[in-house]
Amino acid sequence: MSKHHVTTTINGDPTEFLCGTGETLLDALREQLGLTGSKEGCASGDCGACSVMMNGRLVCSCLVLGVEAQGAEIETIEGVAEGENLHPLQKHFLKEAALQCGICTPGFIVAAKALLERNPNPTETEARYWLAGNLCRCTGYDKIIRAVMNAAAEMRGA
């Protein structure tokens, strides 16, 4: 069977790609479209390194078929900064040194951005539970949580 021709919107840009049924959205992003910011950690939905937004919902792109992106609105880590201007989350991740190897970072930033869009003033507990599906094996999480809380405060204008 021939490949599926998928028409979708990624970070606001109309985009098309070809994929087989068994290929994931993550495969399509990384291998067809060169959007390698989303990472493959576990490929089973446990680590969150491949987090993207799909139609306004935070999802693991390793658990979405590429063909399911047909007609969808996808947002990836590549769409988070505005040109040269980093998002407050990105700035605070740098400032707090909330990363070491960096593999988990794109997923954390996409997931944290989704949290702050729903809840601009989360408690630390809420932030930790929201991010429970993003695993980091380097930092021990405290710096990440600090970065998220500080970014939230900055975005609220506090």
Partner 1 sequence: MAEIQYAAPETVAAAVKALAAGKGRAKVLAGGTDLLVQLRAGRISPDVIVDIKKIPELRKVKKDKGGFRVGAAVSGQELGENADFRADWPGVLEGFELIGSTQVQGRASLGGNLCNGSPAADGVPGLIAAGATVTIAGPKGEREENVEDVVTGPGQTSLKAGEFVVSINLPKRGKRGGDAYLRFIPRTEMDIAVVGAAVSLTLDAKGVCTDARVSLGAVAPRPLLVKAAGKALVGTKVDDAALDALAAAASAACSPIDDKRGTIEFRTKVAGVLARRAALIALERARNNA
Where does this chain bind partner 1 (CB under 8 A)? 1, 4, 20-22, 24, 43-46, 48, 51, 54, 57-60, 62-65, 67-68, 70, 111, 114-115, 129-134
Residue (95 or 111) nearer to partner 1, CB:
111
DSSP calls for 115-149: HHHH-SS--HHHHHHHGGG---SSS-SHHHHHHHH
List Cβ neighbours of 130 (8 Å cut-off, separation of 6 or more): 111, 112, 115, 122
Residue (80 or 133) nearer to partner 1, CB:
133
Residue 12 has which token pair?
């606001």
Residue 58, beta-bridge partner list: 53
**Least distance CB 73 / partner 1 (angstroms):** 13
Residue (95 or 126) nearer to partner 1, CB:
126
**Least distance CB 83 / partner 1 (angstroms):** 28
**Least distance CB 113 / partner 1 (angstroms):** 12
Distance of alpha carbon 147 from alpha carbon 74, whole angstroms: 25
**Least distance CB 135 / partner 1 (angstroms):** 9
Residue (10 or 60) nearer to partner 1, CB:
60
On whether the CB atoms of residues 76 and 11 are closer than 8 A, the answer is yes
